[in-house]
Structures are given as C-alpha cells and as structure tokens.
Structure 1
Amino acid sequence: MPVTVLPLENTPLGAKIQLPDGCSDPSELSEEDFKDLYDALMTYSVVVIPGMEDLKPESQWRLTTMFDPTCDQTGKSYGHGKEFRHQNSVLRRDGMTIPDQPQVQVLGQGQWPAGHYGMGELNLRHPTHFDFHDKPLTDQEAFEEDKTRFYRWHIDSALYALSPPVVTTLLGIHVPPESRKQKIHYDDTGDVLEVTQGATSFVSGANAFDLLSEEDQQRALKTTVVYAPHPYIFISPARATSDGLTMVSDGKEMKFEDLPPWEESKIKRLPLVWTNPVTKKHHLQVHGCCIHQLELPDGTVLDLEDARKEVYRMMRPAISPDQVYAHAWDKGDLVIFHNRGVWHSVTGQFKEGEKRLMHQCNIASGIDPVTVL
C-alpha cells in the first residue's frame, strides 16, 4: 500500500497520512512514497502522521532535511543556537536541545526526570501570552473561565542571516488529555473559537492571499518585507496585540545601537508573498511581530508603526475562526507543516502540575523563498 492521504474534514487545511504497510519510520520512505508525502504537504500545508511516539530524534531530523535538499544535510548547521538562546531573545525559554541530536528541540511544560535522550532533569515552560501580550487575560479568565489566546502568529525562522526553513516537524510525546477545552475570544468581533488545551493553530498563507482584494493582491505580489536585525531581541521589551498578529507600537523596542553586533548584509529582506513550488499558489507569508519596514511597489517605504498596521490589515481576516485549523494533539502525532505556506501559533496555558513533552525540528534553508509572477 502506498502513502495514503486523507484530507481532514471540516477544516480549511490539513490532511492525515497513513504510511505504507510495514513502514514505522517516515525517514525511511522510498523515493516514490516520499514524493507522495511531499506533494501532500505542499497541497494541504499541514499533514499529521499518527502513532509516531517512538520516532527517534535522528529520524525526525533526517525526515526534516528530506523536504529541502538545499538545507545543511550534515547536521552542523541548523538555524538556532546563539540567535535564539541570547539572554534577551523572546525565544530563549521556549525549548532545550537534545545533546546527541542538537537539531531537535525539546518543548513542553513541567518537570521531567533526568534520562530523556541523555538530558538532565527538565523544567519545561509552555510559552503563554501572559509574558508577551500588552494586555493579558486575568487569572480568573484564564484559569477559572478557561479563556486563552493565540500566543504569537509566526513563521519559524531566525529572520536574520539565515533563510526560513521549508518545513517544521513537531512530535507529541506526552500531551494533555483532549477533553480539556479552552476558548479564544476575538476582541474586535466577539467571535469565539474553542480549542483543546495546548492546541497548535495553523492558517494557510494561500487562503490569506485569496482573502485580499484584487488591488491588495497585486500590490502584495511586489512588496518586500524588511525584518529588524536580531528581530527577537529587537522586540523583547515590546508587547504584542491581543490576537498575537503583531506588536503594539509604543516605542519600547530595543534601539538598533543596543542590539548585539549586526551587519546590514545579513538583514532579511523577503517578499511578502511566497509561491508554492507544487501548487503554484501565492501565499501571504509574513512574521508580523518581527517586521521593521515594508517596501511597496511604488517605492514608498512604510516604517515600523505603519508597516505593522498594514500587515495587520492584511493578516487579520485569515485568523477568523473559520480559517483556523487548531490541531488537537494525541500522543504520537507527528505534525509536519509547510513553514513557507502557513503561519502557526501556540495556544493555551497549563495549571500547576500539568505536563507536556514534544520534539521540534526545523532547519534553515539554503535559499530564500521567492514570488513567481
């Protein structure tokens, strides 16, 4: 039996994958079967392979590299390290590195005994909006009324010096029970999206592009996003909007002269729209929290506050409840997402004693994404 692709029902994106009979490690797929998996990912943007709780970190890393021949295949370069672990980075507490497979990060919540793939005792912390949003929920709202937020809509990427990964693989090893529900309230519309605790939410950049007016589409196709140098350090003193799309512009960002040393040539200038290599669809792909400027086709340059307002205007329709796939984790789910075709966000918060353990892998690409007009 070849790879079987089962589109998810009643969701705007996503598919479930059944591996061929006898295959328990997707990094060992034949060339033909892997092409089916690759095409499914490019078509559905997020694919889920269940029953992978025993997948070894080395296999997860190898699988991740298979989606991008241009990324480093030796394991010596993988796109995190100093940039993400800097003491001022907003990402510094979001994961720990497996010693023998440093391309794979351990994420989660709670204390875990020593011995997980050679690691010492783990004290993991699930990222929550309390530390990042300008006006977080109250404890009453979050822990008594089970309200939650999209933490930060983003693309996995250093966005300085390194090119965005093509894919991210995310493995659920220990996950909270699916029965626990939390509710995301949209402040501007009053809509409510119910998600399982700790769900990972995805939206399609292709759907986001399709939701734009024809005029906005034509302009977006020729617009360039300029990201700040060391963007996760740049934004560290600032706080995000309540939907996690971008940052509140109140002058709290770190001044460029106070950032770690940076080079103009390493600042990432990426197209606002990235073209899917298989479907040829255009995807609106932007990390709204990390932008610094927008360069419009007519030569106009929008600086920080106006750039944020403009990408917010374009991004906001795409996170409406009917556009979001919120993945409810089961033990052993291996979620592979097209990092150049979706945005994603952590959701949820955990109470004292609640635990989660996950493995994440993404590798910086050897080339930047492009817009094919």
Structure 2
Amino acid sequence: MPITVLPLENQPLGAKVLLPDGCNDPSALSEEDFKSLYDALMTYSVVVIPGMEDLKPESQWKLTTKFDPTCDQTGKSYGHGKEFRHQNSVLRRDGMTIPDQPQVQVLGQGKWPAGHYGMGELELRHPTHFDFHNKPLTDQEAFEEHKTRFYRWHIDSALYDLSPPVVTTLLGIHVPPASRKQTVHYEDTGDVLEVTQGATAFVSGSNAFESLSKEDQERALKTTVVYAPHPYIFISPARATSDGLTMVSDGKEMPFEELPPWEKSKVKRLPLVWTNPVTKKHHLQVHGCCIHQLVLPDGTVLELEDARKEVYRLMRPAIHPDNVYAHAWDKGDLVIFHNRGVWHSVTGQFQDGERRLMHQCNIASGTDPVTAF
C-alpha cells in the first residue's frame, strides 16, 4: 500500500502523511513512495508524519538529504556550526548538537539527564520573544493571561556563504500537553490567534505572493534581497517588532567593522521570490530580520530601514490568523517543511519545570533558489 496524503482540514496549508503498512522509517521509503512524499511536500508546503518518536537521528539526517540531491550527502557539511554557535549570534542558545550525528540538533526546554544519544546532562532553552522583541509582554500577560508572540518569522538558513536548505525536518520526542492554550494578539489590528503551548507557526510564501497586488507582484519578481554579512551577529544588539517580522531600526545593529571577518563574495544576494520546482508557483521568501538592502528592478537600492519597511509592508498581510497554520505538537510528530516555500516561527513560553525535547535537521543546499518567469 502506498503512502497516504491527507490535506489538513480547515487549514491554509499542510497535509498529514501515513506511511505504508510496516514502514516506520521514512528514510527507507521506496523510490516511488518517496516521490509521492516529495510531491506532497511541494504541494502542501508542510507535511506531518505521526508516530515517529523512535526515529533515529541517522534516519532523520538521511531523510532530510533525500529532498535535495545537491546538498552534501557525506555528512561533512551541514550548514550550522561556527556561524550559529558564535558567542554573539542570536541563535547561540537555540540548540545542541548530537555528537555522533552532528547534522541533527537537539532543541527544547528544561533539564534532561545524561544519556540522550551519548550526550551529557542537557539544559535546553525554548527561544522566546522576551529577549528578542523590542517591547515584550509583561510576565502577567504571558504567564497569567496566557498571551504569547510570534518569536521570529524566518527561513532556516545561515544567509551568509551557504545556500538555504530545501527542507527542514523537526521531530517531537517529548512535548507538553496539547490542551494548554495560549493566544497571539495582533497589536495593530486586534486580531487573536489561539495556539497550543509551543506551537510552531507556518505561513505559505505562495499565499503571501498571491495576496499582493499585481503591481507589487511584478516588482517583487525582479527584486533582490541583500542580507547582512553574518546576519545573526549583525542583528544581535537590535530588537524585533512585536510580530516578529523584522527588526526595529534604531541604530543598534553591530557595525560591519566589528563583525567577524567576512568576504563580500560570501554575502547572500537572493531573489525576493522563489519558484516552486513542482507546482511552479511563486513564493515570497524573505527573512525580514536579517536583510540589509533591497535592490529594486530599476536599480534603486533601499538601505536598511527602508528595506525593512518595504518587506514588512509585503509580509504583514500573510500572517493574518486565517493564513497561519499553527502546528499543535503530539509526541512522535515528524514535521517536514519546505524551507523554500514557507516562513515559520516559534511561539509560546513555558513555566519553570516544564520540558520539551525535539530533533531538528536541515542541510545547506548546493544551489541558491531561483525565480522562474
């Protein structure tokens, strides 16, 4: 029996995938079944395979690489390391590496005893908006009124030297009860989105592009995003807008001359719109927090503050509650998302003593995304 693809009901994107009877390792799917899984991912942008809590890190890594033949299949290069672990990077505390499978990161919350795949005692920290947003919620709002924020809407990528991964795989091994709810409050419109505690939020870049006016679509198709060198270090002294879409421009970014050594040739210049290789749809794909410039079709260059304002204008409609799929984690969920077709964000915060344990894998691609006309 082939894999079964079930589009998620009443959601703007996503599908549930059931593996063939007797298969508990998606990295071992037949060529035909994997092609069906690949096509489902490109079509629905996010797929969820339940019951994968025993999936080994090696299998998760092998599965991740199968989606992109251009990425390093040897395991020697995987696209995180010095850049993400630098003491000044905003990503430095967001995960730990499995020693025997360094392509797979351990994420989560709380203290865990030694022994998890050869690791010592773990103290994991769920990233929250408190130390990233310009004006965070108060403790009363967060822990008594159960409000939360989109932490940072982003694409998984170093955005310097290395090309963005095609997919990310995220495995929920230990997750809090799905019955615990929190609410995202949109400060500019008063809208509210209810999510489960620690939900991962997804937005379709295709839906974002299609929501633009024809004029904006035509301009976006020929616009280039220039990212800052070592972008996660560049933005580390700055703070984000309350919706996690971009950064507040108040001059706090780290000066280029104070960044680690960088080369102009390794600065990422990527299209603002990326084309899906299966559906041929256009996806508005931009990491609004890490941009430095926008180069418009007529050659006009928007510098930092103006570039942020422009991508914010283009991105903001896409995170309306009706456009967001907030995945409510169950133990064993393996979520695979098309990193070149969606933006995603952490949500939620945990009380002291609450715990979560997850495995994440994404591998830098061998090629940059393109816009096909």
Aligned partner letter, 1:355? R
Cα distance in 2, alignment partners of residues 241 and 355 from structure 1: 27
The match for 2:59 is 59
Shift of 1:21: 1.0
Shift of 1:184: 0.3
Counterparts of residues 177-256 of structure 1 (less than 5 Å): 177-256=177-256
Which secondary structure does the structure 1 equivalent of 2:60 belong to?
helix
The match for 1:157 is 157
Shift of 1:363: 0.1
Which secondary structure does the structure 2 equivalent of 1:77 belong to?
coil
Counterparts of residues 1-373 of structure 1 (less than 5 Å): 1-373=1-373
Cα distance in 1, alignment partners of residues 233 and 9 from structure 2: 40
Aligned partner letter, 1:114? A
Cα distance in 1, alignment partners of residues 372 and 178 from structure 2: 41
* Cα deviation 1:16-38 (Å, max 9, x = unaligned): 00001111100000000000000
Cα distance in 2, alignment partners of residues 192 and 208 from structure 1: 19
Which secondary structure does the structure 2 equivalent of 1:32 belong to?
helix
Aligned partner letter, 1:200? T
Cα distance in 2, alignment partners of residues 351 and 129 from structure 1: 14
Cα distance in 1, alignment partners of residues 190 and 54 from structure 2: 42
Cα distance in 1, alignment partners of residues 113 and 205 from structure 2: 39
* Cα deviation 1:18-62 (Å, max 9, x = unaligned): 001111100000000000000000000000000000000000000
Shift of 1:359: 0.1
Which secondary structure does the structure 1 equivalent of 2:194 belong to?
strand
> TM-score under structure 2 normalisation?
1.00
Which secondary structure does the structure 1 equivalent of 2:89 belong to?
coil
Cα distance in 2, alignment partners of residues 160 and 322 from structure 1: 33
Which secondary structure does the structure 2 equivalent of 1:311 belong to?
helix
Shift of 1:140: 0.2
Q: Which runs of 4+ in 1 moved over 6 A?
A: none
Cα distance in 1, alignment partners of residues 24 and 117 from structure 2: 20
Cα distance in 1, alignment partners of residues 176 and 314 from structure 2: 34
* Cα deviation 1:262-294 (Å, max 9, x = unaligned): 000000000000000000000000000000000
* Cα deviation 1:67-92 (Å, max 9, x = unaligned): 00000000000000000000000000
* Cα deviation 1:140-193 (Å, max 9, x = unaligned): 000000000000000000000000000000000000000000000000000000
Shift of 1:113: 0.2
Cα distance in 1, alignment partners of residues 273 and 189 from structure 2: 27
Which secondary structure does the structure 1 equivalent of 2:283 belong to?
strand
Cα distance in 2, alignment partners of residues 299 and 364 from structure 1: 29
Matched pairs, number = 373
Aligned partner letter, 1:356? R
Aligned partner letter, 2:118? G
Cα distance in 2, alignment partners of residues 46 and 113 from structure 1: 32
Cα distance in 2, alignment partners of residues 94 and 275 from structure 1: 30
Aligned partner letter, 2:262? W
Cα distance in 2, alignment partners of residues 297 and 192 from structure 1: 36
> TM-score under structure 1 normalisation?
1.00
Cα distance in 1, alignment partners of residues 15 and 344 from structure 2: 16
Aligned partner letter, 2:9? E
Q: Which runs of 5+ in 1 are unaligned?
A: none
